[in-house]
Amino acid sequence: MVNAMLLPPMATNVQVTKNNNESSANVIRRFTKRVQGAGIVPKVRGSRYFTRTKSRNVQRAAKLKKLEKRDAYEKMVKLGKIPEFRGRRR
């Protein structure tokens, strides 16, 4: 697995050309829509602060802890001690 922090950031170009009889506000609106569609803003916000990569032992311990919690939760659901979570409804 390659560490994403070691790779240079990928350039994403968003280009909008002004059409005939189109206002500047409409061009800016189309540009912002394209930027949102390309997912540039979350990518930039995510790389805003430096986050140290966790060691493999720490990652493994966190994964094991998560699996233990999931097993305990499933056991409690089977025993009927807590209601089953079905997710959010829209």
3-state secondary structure string across 8-25: CCCCCCCCCCCCCCCCHH
The encoded tokens of residue 41 equal: 């803003």
What average pLDDT is seen over the chain?
Answer: 85
What radius of gyration, in Å, describes the C-alpha atoms of the chain?
Answer: 23
Q: What's CA 59's distance to the chain center, in Å?
A: 19
DSSP state of 52: P
pLDDT digits (tens, 9 = 90+) for 28-40: 999 999 988 888 8
Per-residue pLDDT at 65 exceeds 70:
yes
pLDDT digits (tens, 9 = 90+) for 42-58: 888 888 888 889 999 99
Given a contact cutoff of 8 angstroms between Cβ atoms, the answer to whether 17 and 2 are in contact is no
User: Does the predicted TM-score (pTM) go above 0.75?
Assistant: no
DSSP state of 66: H
